[in-house]
Structures are given as C-alpha cells and as structure tokens.
Structure 1
Amino acid sequence: MLEINNLSAYYGNICALRGVSFHVDAGETVALIGNNGAGKTTTVRTISGLMKAREGEIRFMGERIDQLRPDQIVRLGISHSPEGRKVFPSMTIRENLLMGGYIVRDPKAVNRSLEYVLELFPRLKERYSQLSETLSGGEQQMLAIGRALMSEPKLLILDEPSLGLAPLIIKQIFELIRHIQQKGITILIIEQNARQALKVSHRGIVLETGQIAFEEKAADMLHNDRVRKAYLGEKYSKEA
C-alpha cells in the first residue's frame, strides 16, 4: 500500500532523513520507533506532504505522491493525526470533526463517519458542543484521532498518540487503536512508548539518526535485547 524508497529530507543544511526505505502493507499496523530526533515525525510529515523530500520517492496504492499537495494526499486516502494533537481550540468538537471530513462531498458519508467516531469515542459525544480548548489532553487526543478518521482513510498515520498523557489514558488510547484496526484501516504509528506501540503492531521499524536501523515482527521486537535496552527501559540481559 505505502512504499518509501531511498527517502532523504533536510531542514536547511541539516539532514533529518538519509536513504530511508520501508513499506506498509494493506491491513497492517506498523510501528516506527526511535528516540527524540531520530526522524520519526519528519518521516510522516514528508509522507503527508507537509514537508518535501530532497531525494527518493513515496508511493501510495502504486501512485507517486511525494510531489503532491497535502490536500491531494488526503483525497487519495491518507489521514494524519499530528504530534501534539493540533485541534482547533476555538471550535467545538462537532466543528473539529467536520473539518476532518471537509473533502467528503456526500453528506450521508459524513454522517456515517460522525456516527462511527462518536460511537468509538463516547466522551466526545458527551461533550459534542464544547469548545475543544476545554477538553483534557486525553480528550483532545481522541478528538485528533476522530478528526483524522472523518475522511474515511485507507491509511491512518498516528504521530505520538500517547504523548503527555497519563498511564490510564494511554491504555484507553491504545484500546481504541485496536478497535480502529478491526475496521480494516491500515495504520502507521509513531511512538516513543515503544512497548505499547509494538503490542498493537504487526511489524516494528527502528529509526536511528535519520536512518533505518532494522525492522522485524513486532512480537519478536518486544523480546529483542537491543530494543529492550534502548527503547523499552529494560536493562540488557542475555537471559531475558
């Protein structure tokens, strides 16, 4: 479904990504993990068209998209829930959600998406007419994910969905991600909380200083000593 080939991206003269290549298959959930500054957010911003690659190409459903505008990429079926949530604070929950479905011309499809999102996030339904700035951090994250789902994406990109949230809310967010998977939506998830991300993923990809270090099945990665030492907060142990 998504193919990244030899992707390089720069901030001015600073190289943020160097020769990155990976793929995401239809129906798959892939976790892209790495430390701060590894290039995770740069990768997904480039996929979404928010940043332009200097080299390489990005293909979605066989079509090259790295020269397209962000709105064109959304229309093809890629939706991005950004790091830091980025909800519209002076707009209500309803208005935020409708903004997520702005490309959908069929009112019935918009209503169908609204019903699905409000069923998935009953907290948003309870606060439907509230301004988003009055929501808690966890509720704003639910809103950001719900807004991304409004365009009925084929590929959902989740950038740091657990960032800054309490452990109980993080657990709820990842339970909701499992519900989204059941709908058959392909997911690329970027997370510092590697353990939670790998638990809901089919494969994991480790990004280090702008390059792919390695990738393998998520279940195997949870027991990989290198990953456990660097990203899961566990001491290195050959017996572990």
Structure 2
Amino acid sequence: MTMLEIRNLSAYYGNICALRGISFQVNAGETVALIGNNGAGKTTTVRTISGLMKPREGEIRFMGERIDHLRPDQIVRLGISHSPEGRKVFPAMTVRENLVMGAYIRKDAKEVKRTLDYVLHLFPRLEERFSQSAETLSGGEQQMLAIGRALMSEPKLLILDEPSLGLAPLIIKQIFELIRVIQQQGITILIIEQNARQALKVAHRGIVLETGRIAFEENAKEMLHNDRVRQAYLGEK
C-alpha cells in the first residue's frame, strides 16, 4: 500500500529552483533512503513534505489525502513526524520536557506515558540524562533525543533528516542500529542522508537526487553495488 506519494513536485527559494518536478512514493512498512550531495534538494524535499515549505507545483499525498496545502501541525496530526537536520532540540529544556513536547498533539496521558517508556527503553542514555537540559548532551545524545521526540507523536511515517550529521563513526553505528530497531516496530521511514552507505544498508529502496531531480532509484542492496553510486556517493573507484 502506498503511504506517501509525491507527484511532479517543484519548490523554490525565491527565484532559485530547488526541486524540479520530482515524483516518488513510499510504501507502508518500507524504509526509503533519499541520498545525494549537498544542494541536491534532499532537505527541501522533506521540508516540503512536512509543510515547512510550500511547493510551487505538484502534489503530496499521504494515505491518499492531499496534504501540500496543510500546516505543519495538521500534517503531524495525520501521522508524519520529522526529526530535522541539525537535531533542533530545545536547549534550555530537559530531556523529559523535549520528549513530552513531541507528544503535544496527544491527549491520552496513559498512552503518552506508554510511548515515553518505549522511547526510554529504546534510548537508555536518555533515561540516564532525563532531568538534564538538552544543551548539556553530546551530539549523539541530542540526535537520540531528536529521534525520540519525533517518535512521541506515534507517527505512521518517520522522516529522519541527516541523522548521522556531525557524529563520530561509533555513534553513527549506534544510531543506525537504533533505526533498525524502529523498523521492526513497523514504522515507515524516509531517511535523508549524505552517508549513503549507512542509509542504503538499512533501506529497502534508494533514491538518488541530483540538482533537484531524481537521477534514478533502485533496490537498496543493488544500489550498494551500482558502480555509479559507489563512485559518486560511496567514495569508491
């Protein structure tokens, strides 16, 4: 079943075209990796899906419903949650407060507590830092907090924008192991990454963006062995 469908999507920053009529879909239960170099349009794509930018042309449909005219909070209520590039945690708030903010659309306190317990089980480091302000956390801990906060809304589709950005290799490995655990819960994931190798290892399909256009898409395992991808994105000759 198609969960997210992008049709002929174009987006601009002023007069600068960032997306040039891209089309793709994400199926329920699937993890799709959107990869490409800086400036390819990856973050613009997910900002547009999340309602943080409005497209100039095209459509975005979620569960069959057109959402490109909706506000970000309305999109979250439908079941899309976005862990943004650069983490964007609330620095002066505690870990607990950041996580609770992720559940602001939910009214059932018992269900929120159940999700909070799940997130703390998934990220034990956050439980250890529960009462600390987010600004005192390491970069890896802040990334865990950003993902945990996104999970607090109980999303159907989780968007992860550059989850490995600026992190040490050991922490990157831990983050992607946690993404695999999240996959096992049946959550559909759209992951945006410059670290193409790690993203493709957890994905079912890969989509390559180049200067605002989709260059090609392929099964993720096959893409790891694609000479073009290996040379351009995996640093291999």
User: Which TM-score applies when normalising by structure 1?
Assistant: 0.98
Q: Give the AA of the match of 2:85.
A: E
2:177 matched residue in structure 1: 175
Distance 1:192 1:213 in 2: 15
Q: Give the AA of the match of 1:178.
A: R
1:38-77 matches, within 5 Å, as 38-77=40-79
1:161-240 matches, within 5 Å, as 161-235=163-237
- Cα-to-partner distance string for 1:35-85 (whole Å, 9 max, x where unaligned): 000000000000000000000000000000000000000000000000000
Distance 1:113 1:38 in 2: 35
Distance 2:6 2:114 in 1: 32
1:41-190 matches, within 5 Å, as 41-190=43-192
Structure 2 gaps of 5+ residues are none
- Cα-to-partner distance string for 1:57-115 (whole Å, 9 max, x where unaligned): 00000000000000000000000000000000000000000000000111111001100
Distance 1:180 1:111 in 2: 18
Shift of 1:10: 0.1
Distance 1:113 1:159 in 2: 22
1:25-44 matches, within 5 Å, as 25-44=27-46
Q: 1:10 aligns with which of 9, 12, 16?
A: 12
- Cα-to-partner distance string for 1:1-39 (whole Å, 9 max, x where unaligned): 000000000000000000000000000000000000000
Q: How many residues are aligned here? A: 235
- Cα-to-partner distance string for 1:98-147 (whole Å, 9 max, x where unaligned): 00000011111100110010000000000100000000000000000000
User: Which TM-score applies when normalising by structure 2?
Assistant: 0.99
1:238 matched residue in structure 2: none
Give the aligned CA root-mean-square deviation in angstroms: 0.3
Q: Give the AA of the match of 1:81.
A: S
Q: Give the AA of the match of 2:202.
A: V
SS across alignment from 2:33 = strand
Structure 1 gaps of 5+ residues are 236-240
SS across alignment from 1:89 = coil
Q: Give the AA of the match of 2:195.
A: N
Shift of 1:226: 0.2
Q: Give the AA of the match of 1:22.
A: F
Q: Give the AA of the match of 1:204.
A: G
Distance 1:2 1:109 in 2: 26
- Runs of 4+ with deviation above 6 angstroms: none
2:26 matched residue in structure 1: 24
SS across alignment from 2:115 = helix
